[in-house]
Amino acid sequence: MDNQDIRKAGLKVTLPRIKILELLENNTQRHVSAEDVYKMLLDKGEEIGLATIYRVLTQFETAGLVTRHNFEGGHAVFELDRGGHHDHMVCMVCGKVEEFIDTTIEKRQREIAKEHGFEMVDHSLIIYGHCGNPKCKVGY
Amino acid sequence: MDNQDIRKAGLKVTLPRIKILELLENNTQRHVSAEDVYKMLLDKGEEIGLATIYRVLTQFETAGLVTRHNFEGGHAVFELDRGGHHDHMVCMVCGKVEEFIDTTIEKRQREIAKEHGFEMVDHSLIIYGHCGNPKCKVGY
DNA sequence: ACTTGCAATGAAAAAGATTCTCATCATCAT
DNA sequence: ATGATGATGAGAATCTTTTTCATTGCAAGT
Ligand SMILES: [Mn+2]
Ligand SMILES: [Mn+2]
Ligand SMILES: [Zn+2]
Ligand SMILES: [Zn+2]
């Protein structure tokens, strides 16, 4: 994942794009909002306008470099497209996100779409619950 | 689904609440946004403030009368809780929504959550694609 | 039916997320 | 190096949803 990926997407290789891509690549939190990216870059001394963050993230999404998720909470989160597709599990208390992939579910989805005359293009499976952290369990 | 359901939720039986519940019950389109509800009621001559629509829908959700979905598009959609849980398939062209339920997927989700130490509270599975309508197929 | 407390409503303002506008600036093919 | 074109930043605008607050209406008790 480097500047060539930006170029291959038909986009000019600019400092904002390089910095945003680097952050998505190196940040410990894989799933970040546009606001998150903005603030994290600010913390690193990179003053990139929020409008640019939104623009670039959308361009990266179109280029297939980044995936956008509509978790609960009223704002989108983005993640760098590494390996391949996967689904998510979100802790309703601490916000922790775990990733998983299940071939049984993936297969059934394709079958179900077909049964309904749909051509599946994409899908979103999110499990909401309480993660393993004791503080996130009910009654804590 | 009647006024008693509103009362049982600990809410006063008011005209806005009755009208919103009636609309959710009788409307052909099961999945509607707050704005949709607002406009549809206006068309019927019921002038209920948009803020009230949002408030009441959220209250109905809390009471378990209504479910909120975060489909793509930047706004939430609501549906009356009839039978039980089900998942959704959304046409990316015409917006048509089909409902389905699959026990294999439901079971695997519970297993996967457990494998990751999560207590599953809820989940959201949405298949995006092109519906059976020829006009919604690629290359039309 | 009459009172009355407290919840509910409408209108407008506010808030939060995202997009758009436009003047200025940077990239890159030539 | 130059110039065409795309990219950026700042702020305005838009869209969705929530909040505020003065007014109204339900419903419990008389
Ligand atoms: Mn992920
Ligand atoms: Mn449904
Ligand atoms: Zn947690
Ligand atoms: Zn369609």
pLDDT digits (tens, 9 = 90+) for B4-16: 999 999 999 999 9
Average pLDDT score over residue span B123-130: 96
User: Closest Cα to residue B112, out of A137, A77, A87?
Assistant: A87
What average pLDDT score do residues B32-38 get? 98
A-B contacts (CB, under 8 Å): 111
For residue B123, the surrounding DSSP H or E stretch is strand B119-130
Q: Which residues pair with B111 in a beta bridge?
A: none
What pLDDT score does B128 carry?
A: 95
Contacts of A120 by beta carbon, 8 Å cutoff, 6+ apart: A109, A110, A113, A114, B127, B128, B129
A87-136 folds as: Dna Ligase; domain 1 (3.30.1490)
Q: According to the model, what pLDDT value does residue B18 have?
A: 98
Comma-separated ranges of CATH 3.30.1490.190 domains in chain A: 87-136
Q: Which nucleotides of D are covered by protein (CB under 7 A)?
A: 6-12, 15-20, 25-27
pLDDT at residue B111 is higher than 80: yes
Q: Which residues of B touch A85 (CB under 8 A)?
A: none
Sequence letter at residue B56: V
Chain A residues closer than 8 Å to B104 by CB: 104-105, 108
Judged by CB atoms closer than 8 Å, whether chains meet at B105 and A108 is answered as yes
Rounded to the nearest angstrom, the distance between the alpha carbon of B125 and the centre of ligand 2 is 11
**Is residue A129 a contact partner of residue B120, using CB atoms and an 8 Å limit?**
yes
pLDDT, one tens digit per residue, over A17-68 is 999 999 999 999 999 999 999 999 999 999 999 999 999 999 999 999 999 9
b (16+ CB within 10 A) / e for B75-104: ebbbbbbeeeeebbbbbbeeebbbebebee
B118 to A105: CB separation less than 8 angstroms, yes or no: no
Rounded Cα distance, A65 and A74, in Å: 23
Q: Would you say residue B140 has pLDDT above 80?
A: no
Grade residue B127 by pLDDT with cuts at 50, 70 and 90: very high
Look at residue B83 in the predicted model and tell me its pLDDT: 86
Distance A47 CA to ligand 3 centre (A): 32
User: Contact, B15 vs B94, CB < 8 A?
Assistant: no
Report the mean per-residue pLDDT for chain B: 96
Phi, psi of B126 (to 5 degrees): -130, 125
**Phi and psi dihedrals of B137, rounded to 5?**
-80, 155
d(CA A110, CA A95): 29
Token representation of residue A84: 């391949």
Average pLDDT over every residue of B67-96: 94
Instruction: Give Rg (Cα) of chain A.
Output: 17
Contact A78, A31 (CB under 8 A): yes
> Strand ranges (DSSP E) for chain A?
66-69, 77-80, 87-91, 97-100, 119-130
Residue B40 near residue B55, CB atoms below 8 Å: no
pLDDT over threshold 80, residue B139:
no
Helices and strands of chain A, counted as H and E runs: 5, 5
Q: What is the pLDDT of residue B68?
A: 97
What is the mean pLDDT of the segment spanning B132-138?
Answer: 91
Between CA A48 and CA A87 the distance in angstroms is 30
Say whether pLDDT at A117 is over 80.
yes
Contacts of B107 in chain A (CB under 8 A): none
Give pLDDT, residue A78.
98
pLDDT score for A43: 96
User: Does the CA dihedral A116-B86-B73-B21 come out positive or negative?
Assistant: positive
Residues 6+ apart with CB under 8 A from B101: B84, B85, B86, B87
CATH 1.10.10.10 domain range(s) in chain B: 2-80
**Confidence at B138, pLDDT banded by 50, 70, 90:** confident
Instruction: Give the model's confidence band at A1: pLDDT under 50 very low, under 70 low, under 90 confident, else very high.
Output: confident
pLDDT digits (tens, 9 = 90+) for A62-81: 999 999 999 998 999 999 99
List the single best residue of A121, A122, A127 to mutate versus B (max B Cβ within 10 A). Answer: A127
Beta-bridged to residue B129, according to DSSP, are: A120, B91
* B86 alpha carbon, closest ligand: 2
Rounded CA separation A113/A96 (Å) = 30
Cα–ligand 1 centroid distance for A37 (angstroms):
16
Residue A138 pLDDT level (bands cut at 50, 70, 90): confident
Domain boundaries A2-80, CATH class: mainly alpha
- Asked if the C-beta of A89 comes within 8 angstroms of chain B's C-beta atoms, the answer is yes
